[in-house]
Each structure stands twice: as C-alpha cells, then as structure tokens.
C-alpha cells in the first residue's frame, strides 16, 4: 500500500475520463472488499451546540446564529435506547458526537466512557468524535471498548485555515497520532463543497493517504450549507464531484472503508448507486447527522434491496470477497453449493477452484 502519493498523481486520477476512473476504482474495490456489503453507522449527537470553535461549516458553533438548539450531555440510558433502535434498523456502529473543542477529564468524560461500555455490551461497534484528546484519554476510551475515533482533517492543510482558525491542522494530526497509540481504529476524512479547489481535495487525500497506517474509515462529506454559518451561501456540490472524490479515495486508500456521509439528501438513488460502484462501502443511517438532515433509514433499506446490498456485520475489519477455499469449505460442511459451481459461473474451468477443491477433498 502506498503512502507516498503526490498531489499531482492524485489530481491525474481525479481528472481521468469518468468511465476510466470508475472502472479502475471498482476493480480495486472488488479486489479488496465485498462489493455488495455496506457498513451502516448511526451518528448520535450526545451533546449539541455551544462549541467555542469557529468551523465555518458548523451550525453548532456558539458564535453563529443558527436554529440549532443546544442540549446538555445525554444520559447513558438515553444513549442505550438510541443504540438499540439503531441496531434494530441494521446499524452495526454507533458514533457519538459531542460539540466540544477538546475532552476534559471529569464527570462528563466518565459518563461518555460508561456510554462506550454500555453500547459495546450490545455487540455493536462504538465510535466517538469528541474533539481533541490526549494520549491518556485515548487509552481510557480504548479500555472502555471504543472501536473507532473520528477526527476529520476537513480539507487540505492550505485551505483549512480559510475555514477554521481556532484549531490548527497539526492539532488534528496530533489527536490522530494519540489514537494510534492504542488499539482504537481511526476514522478521518473531510468535506467537499466549501469553496476549495480540486487541488485542495487532492491535498486532503495526500494527507490522509500519507498516514501510516491509513485510516480504517474515511467519511466523504458534501457540505450542507446551514443558514447562519459563514458558508451558508455555498451551492450544493455536484454529484459528479462526489463520485470522482469517492473513486479517487478508493484508489489511493484501497483497504479503507469509504463512507458516503453528509449531503445524501441532495443525492438521487442513481447518484448514490454510482458512489457505491465507485468504491463507497459505508453510510450514515438515520434521519439526522448531528444537526443536519439525512435520508430515513427505511429509504436506505429500500435502496439496499433495490441495489442488492446488505448491511455489514459489526467488528469486520475489512469486508473481503469470500475466498475459493471458504466457499468450498461451506459446500463441504453445510452442503451449500458454492456460487461459482453454479452453471452460470462455469467453475469447472476455473483451475484455482479445482485446486482448492482437491486440497479440501471435496
């Protein structure tokens, strides 16, 4: 896996003829993942509004006049109820977000740790996005059973300062580095449609792909412009830009789960299908992403059925295609005929499968 991509190389990929780009991304996706499985996460705002930062896209910043109603930290029982609801709807992960600049040790953090332990007992992955954390706090989250920590880079280092001034780019990288000192996986991505250039989009992917290891999941968000924020006048990003961004992310980060995140309410099913074909294999489900709208979970399940997609089970590090040996083992142990022994797959002429069958004495 490469960690030395240049901005010029990524721009060349991003600007390929669309059909060539889709073909390359889909080929890599199918080699690394099960193309018909999608990881489903539910994003829950456990503490809303009142954030002291000035992120230009965020309606939770205290300095902006938006319609977001602030709420204190939710109780453990409230979070558990929401997690059970999410699980029954097909989610394998609950991501808890708190509008904090950074985590402060004390009763509220202890409460979050108890939320992590509670959801973990439900056999669900738990993710948190709480702002900046120290190495000690990362270890405490890991001990509680946290599966992933989200800390987005948002954009390229060059464009970042046009959107945020209260937290530096290196601050974000330091938090990711603190998470990497534990067994917690990293979720980090960004937002397109904030007025950045294609070069900035490529720069963000350079920063993400340069991390070693690369993030286990990368959300690609389309800006949802909210009235009262500095970016309220931004026009919705084109679906073609989203498709190109997803495909390019898949090519430069082949093993990462690429999450189709904010902005899906502005995308048609056809557009989302193209994103899945281009390599997206994760979504946020539920009618709200922290404070912005999201498609209803029933709509998503209808879309999955239409496209032949299925939700991924929890604690799957990487959704790989089933191997020849695994299919023949299932055939041997359970009497289930492997899909490539069916006539339409003509397995009789597949030398790899024959060797696997001989090895397993099927």
Active-site entry in 93, 95, 128, 167: 95
CA distances from 130 to 55, 97, 215, 224, 230 (A): 15, 6, 17, 21, 23
Phi and psi torsions of 288, nearest 5°: -150, 140
Active-site entry in 167, 187, 250, 264: 187
Q: Are 250 and 23 in contact (CB under 8 A)?
A: no
Active-site entry in 127, 128, 172, 250: 127
Q: Are 45 and 97 in contact (CB under 8 A)?
A: yes
CA gap 8, 203 in Å, rounded: 9
Beta strands in 177-248 (DSSP E): 185-187, 190-192, 217-222
CA gap 153, 205 in Å, rounded: 10
Active-site entry in 51, 128, 140, 275: 51
Is residue 275 part of the annotated active site? The answer reads: no
Active-site entry in 172, 259, 264, 275: 259
CA distances from 212 to 3, 7, 86, 132, 326 (A): 7, 17, 32, 20, 30
CA gap 4, 296 in Å, rounded: 39
Is residue 128 part of the annotated active site? The answer reads: no
Helical axes 18-32 vs 7-14, angle rounded to 10°: 110
DSSP 15: T
CA gap 173, 164 in Å, rounded: 15
Give catalytic residue positions: 51, 55, 58, 95, 127, 187, 259
């Amino acid at each position: 896996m490469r960690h030395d991509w240049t901005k010029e190389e990524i721009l060349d990929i991003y600007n390929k003829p669309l059909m060539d780009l889709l073909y390359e991304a889909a080929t890599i996706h199918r080699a690394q993942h099960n193309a018909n499985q999608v990881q489903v996460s539910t994003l829950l705002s456990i503490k809303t509004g009142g954030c002291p930062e000035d992120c230009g896209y965020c309606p939770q910043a205290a300095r902006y006049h938006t319609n977001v109603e602030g709420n204190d930290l939710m109780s453990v029982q409230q979070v558990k109820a929401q997690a059970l609801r999410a699980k029954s709807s097909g989610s394998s992960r609950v991501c808890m977000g708190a509008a904090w600049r950074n985590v402060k040790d004390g009763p509220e953090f202890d409460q979050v740790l108890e939320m992590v332990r509670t959801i973990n007992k439900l056999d669900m992955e738990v993710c948190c996005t709480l702002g900046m954390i120290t190495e000690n706090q990362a270890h405490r989250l890991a001990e509680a059973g946290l599966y992933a920590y989200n800390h987005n880079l948002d954009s390229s280092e060059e464009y970042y300062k046009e959107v945020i001034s209260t937290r530096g780019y290196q601050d974000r990288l330091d938090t990711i580095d603190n998470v990497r000192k534990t067994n917690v996986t990293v979720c980090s991505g960004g937002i397109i449609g904030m007025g950045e250039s294609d070069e900035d989009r490529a720069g963000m992917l350079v920063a993400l792909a340069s991390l070693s290891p690369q993030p286990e999941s990368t959300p690609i968000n389309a800006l949802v412009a909210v009235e009262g924020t500095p970016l309220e006048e931004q026009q919705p990003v084109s679906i073609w830009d989203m498709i190109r961004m997803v495909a390019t992310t898949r090519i430069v980060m082949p093993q990462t789960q690429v999450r189709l995140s904010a902005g899906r309410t502005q995308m048609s099913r056809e557009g989302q299908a193209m994103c899945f074909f281009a390599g997206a294999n994760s979504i946020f489900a539920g009618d709200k992403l922290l404070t912005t709208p999201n498609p209803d979970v029933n709509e998503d399940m209808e879309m999955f059925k239409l496209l032949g997609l299925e939700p991924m089970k929890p604690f799957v590090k990487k959704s790989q295609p089933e191997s020849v040996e695994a299919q023949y083992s299932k055939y041997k142990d359970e009497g289930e005929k492997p899909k490539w022994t069916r006539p339409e797959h003509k397995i009789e002429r597949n030398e790899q499968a024959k060797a696997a069958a001989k090895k397993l004495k099927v």
